[in-house]
Amino acid sequence: MTTPQLLSIATLVGMMALFIWGRWRYDIVAVVALLASLALGIVTPKKAFTGFSDDIVIIVGSALVISAAVQRSGLIERALKGVAKRVTRVRSQLIVLTGSVGVASALVKNIGALAMLMPAAVRMAKKNDASPSVFLMPMSFASLLGGLMTLVGTSPNIIVSRVRQDMTGQPFGMFDYTPVGLGLLVMGLIYLRFAYRLIPRDRRAAPSMGEALDIKGYVTEAEVTDDSPAVDESVADFLDRHEHEVTITQILRAGMRSAPTEAMTLHAGDVLILGGEPDALERVIAGDKLKLEGEEREKATAEKDSEIGVIEAVVNVESVLIGQTAGRLRLQERHGVNLIAISRQGQRLSRRLGNTVLGAGDVIVLQGPLDLMPQQLRELGCLPLAEREMRLGSRRTTWLPIAILGVAMFATALGLVPVAVAFFAAAGVILAVGALPVREAYEHIEWPILIMLGALIPVSDSLRSTGASDVIATWLSHTAATLPPWGAVALILVAAMAVTPFLNNAATVLVMAPIAATFAGDLGYRPEAFLMATAVGAGCDFLTPIGHQCNTLVLGPGGYRFGDYARLGAPLSVLVLVLGTPLILWVWPLH
């Protein structure tokens, strides 16, 4: 080996050691590795920052934006709501989520399927008071296995199909991958059902300042609209349908206020005084098409270019709100803000918001133009709380994000556009049509992950640029020539699984597929089994968060460390090798 080749391998080994050590954060390790590669001369200054324009950075960043829009729509939550009512144990929920993402990954790109179902997993974990880490890594692994089942499930399958076409004149068809992929998916789902406990229980995403606030018991008022599913529904049925996440403290009908009874029927035009946590109130109001008090007036009077949003604030001891009501102060007319919720420690409020006398220490939710909100809070004597996600009073677009994502994935399935272009376009359209506010989009992007990817891509590419990958390929070729046929297939599978954490899965196939085809020719066998082993190995990175976009996508939301992937993924990798080799040989005979 030459000196640059040795330095390239040494740099990657050292980087992996730092990842496993876990003392430094993953993005810092990536930056250090890039600086070391520059200092050693194995990465040129001209190529040092090319990783930030790589497709994987665009795909992951766009997928996070799309996932946020899907989560905001609430459609997946409602789709799984019926299942969630019947399936309450973590292990059963894990089967539902991993099975769903596995099957979906066979029909669309696995990164798209995972992005679509991640919000439902996070919501399900929160409802169980569990960490999303219990679900997210198993879902990522299931999406990788599900992607092996069809031609469009993952990029390696498409590339391997083209290699076979170049060699034999016949590409792999859409479902030629299904027998092997389905067998591995079923095995993986069974494994994940029992092995999820290998994930450390303390793994959680770093909490924001807003999540540290434990403010509950908000009260808001909303009107039942003509097209609401709550019309002609009893109070008992309404509360049962929403799993008693909210309460109705008062009902105002034709100017008369009354305490609700379980048998009372709700009518269009009724104003409900609702109590509950902000997330629950938001889901009920959006799902039942209820209209917040003053919401239409607020949006009508706002300037055209103003972004309407909500802010939590606490009433200061010197606030002009103390001893006053929102109706008496005419908040909307004088200050351009709308009071949509109140929380008061130790009390259950039942009066209309506009008639509730405010006091020092009350936590209120104000709706209005976000650019004017700081000035209005100062005038009112309110202190804004640490920023946290609050959607009460925000506009929801139910089907639009799903439709945009569906079009993007359909375009990639037909080969009309690359995945990066499709996902980037989908994220851009989502922002352009207002399905997700720009401010929220930037908040949902995991910037440390993008920094890690952009820094690591040129470092990993140094294997190819220095010729170290060619040396490794030659060694594999000599080793495989001395093995029995099943051993050669297994070696290709292991080699592809070992290389894909350092190169992306598409690059792994481009490097390994010609080697696999050469093996087959030298040994006098048909190439299909060796090509299939290459596709399976390249699509099965269960050891690191950097080899596949799906693993990278769950790194931040799951609060995982680098070594957590190997805890759950190493046994799964062994199972793929043990089961995958005979499966491949059974479906694709060597003669």
Residue 388 is predicted with a pLDDT of 53
User: What's the half-sphere exposure (Cβ side, CA atoms, 13 Å) at 578?
Assistant: 8
Residue 30 is predicted with a pLDDT of 85
Q: Where are the domains of the chain?
A: 6-206+417-587, 210-292, 308-384
Higher pLDDT among residues 552 and 3, named by residue: 3
User: Stretch 464-485: mean pLDDT, rounded?
Assistant: 74
Residue 346 is predicted with a pLDDT of 64
Give the confidence band of 425 by pLDDT, cuts at 50, 70, 90. very high
What are residue 246's phi and psi, to 5 degrees? -125, 165
Residue 379's closest CA among 419, 321, 459, 437? 321
Per-residue pLDDT reduced to its tens digit, 105-133 = 876 667 777 877 887 788 788 777 788 88
Per-residue pLDDT reduced to its tens digit, 334-377 = 888 888 888 887 677 777 788 888 988 888 888 888 788 888 88
Residue 298's closest CA among 289, 290, 288, 306? 306
Tell me which H or E stretch contains 248.
strand 246-253
CA of 209: how far to CAs of 212, 214, 330, 439, in Å? 5, 11, 32, 17
* Number of neighbours of residue 230 by Cβ within 10 angstroms: 25
Give the confidence band of 581 by pLDDT, cuts at 50, 70, 90. very high
Highest mean pLDDT among 50-64, 118-132, 523-537: 523-537
Question: Which fold would CATH assign to domain 308-384?
Answer: Alpha-Beta Plaits (3.30.70)
**pLDDT for 386 beyond 70:** no
- Output the six-digit token pair for 128: 């169980």
Higher pLDDT among residues 110 and 454, named by residue: 454
Highest mean pLDDT among 389-398, 420-429, 522-531: 420-429
Residues 310-337 as b/e (b if ≥16 CB within 10 A, e otherwise) read: bbbbbbbeebebbeebbeebebbeebbb
Higher pLDDT among residues 99 and 79, named by residue: 99
User: Stretch 211-230: mean pLDDT, rounded?
Assistant: 76
**pLDDT for 210 beyond 50:** no
Residue 179 is predicted with a pLDDT of 93
Higher pLDDT among residues 554 and 576, named by residue: 576
Give the confidence band of 389 by pLDDT, cuts at 50, 70, 90. low
Residue 205 is predicted with a pLDDT of 63
CA of 368: how far to CAs of 69, 208, 316, 463, in Å? 21, 23, 20, 54
Higher pLDDT among residues 345 and 318, named by residue: 318
**pLDDT for 409 beyond 60:** yes
- The letter for the amino acid at 384 is P
- Output the six-digit token pair for 123: 């919501």
- Output the six-digit token pair for 563: 């070594």
CA of 470: how far to CAs of 156, 159, 347, 482, 581, in Å? 20, 20, 71, 19, 25
CA–CA gap between residue 105 and residue 146 (Å, rounded)? 5
Residue 35 is predicted with a pLDDT of 94
CA–CA gap between residue 372 and residue 308 (Å, rounded)? 10
User: Stretch 524-536: mean pLDDT, rounded?
Assistant: 88
Residue 109's closest CA among 465, 568, 473, 417? 417
User: What's the half-sphere exposure (Cβ side, CA atoms, 13 Å) at 213?
Assistant: 20
**pLDDT for 181 beyond 90:** yes
- Output the six-digit token pair for 265: 């029927």
CA–CA gap between residue 462 and residue 502 (Å, rounded)? 10
CA–CA gap between residue 399 and residue 109 (Å, rounded)? 20
CA–CA gap between residue 440 and residue 33 (Å, rounded)? 31
**pLDDT for 212 beyond 50:** no
Give the confidence band of 180 by pLDDT, cuts at 50, 70, 90. very high
CA–CA gap between residue 310 and residue 301 (Å, rounded)? 16
CA–CA gap between residue 517 and residue 520 (Å, rounded)? 5
Q: Angle at Cα 278 formed by Cα 431 and Cα 73, nearest 5°?
A: 30
Question: Which fold would CATH assign to domain 210-292?
Answer: Alpha-Beta Plaits (3.30.70)
Q: In whole angstroms, what separates CA 533 from the centre of its chain?
A: 29
Residue 449 is predicted with a pLDDT of 72
CA–CA gap between residue 378 and residue 383 (Å, rounded)? 8
* Number of neighbours of residue 413 by Cβ within 10 angstroms: 18
Higher pLDDT among residues 293 and 324, named by residue: 324
Q: Angle at Cα 25 formed by Cα 19 and Cα 26, nearest 5°?
A: 50
Task: Identify any residues that bridge with 276 across adjacent strands, giving them in sequence order.
Answer: 218, 246
Higher pLDDT among residues 205 and 162, named by residue: 162
What is the overall mean pLDDT for the chain?
81
Residue 496's closest CA among 536, 537, 535? 537
CB-CB contact of 306 with 370 (8 Å): yes
Give the confidence band of 280 by pLDDT, cuts at 50, 70, 90. confident
Bridge-based pairing of strands 291-292 and 271-276 is: unpaired
Query: Cα(first)–Cα(last) distance of the chain, in Å?
Result: 37
Residue 390's closest CA among 365, 360, 353? 365
Residue 76 is predicted with a pLDDT of 63
CA–CA gap between residue 511 and residue 158 (Å, rounded)? 14
CA–CA gap between residue 491 and residue 473 (Å, rounded)? 12
User: What's the half-sphere exposure (Cβ side, CA atoms, 13 Å) at 209?
Assistant: 5
CA–CA gap between residue 585 and residue 250 (Å, rounded)? 68
Residue 294 is predicted with a pLDDT of 61
Per-residue pLDDT reduced to its tens digit, 2-53 = 898 899 888 878 887 786 676 787 788 889 989 999 999 999 999 999 988 8
Q: In whole angstroms, what separates CA 439 from the centre of its chain?
A: 18
CA–CA gap between residue 325 and residue 220 (Å, rounded)? 14
What are residue 315's phi and psi, to 5 degrees? -75, 120
Share of the chain above pLDDT 90, in %: 18
Residue 267 is predicted with a pLDDT of 92
CA–CA gap between residue 185 and residue 284 (Å, rounded)? 36
* Number of neighbours of residue 95 by Cβ within 10 angstroms: 18
- Output the six-digit token pair for 159: 């590339």
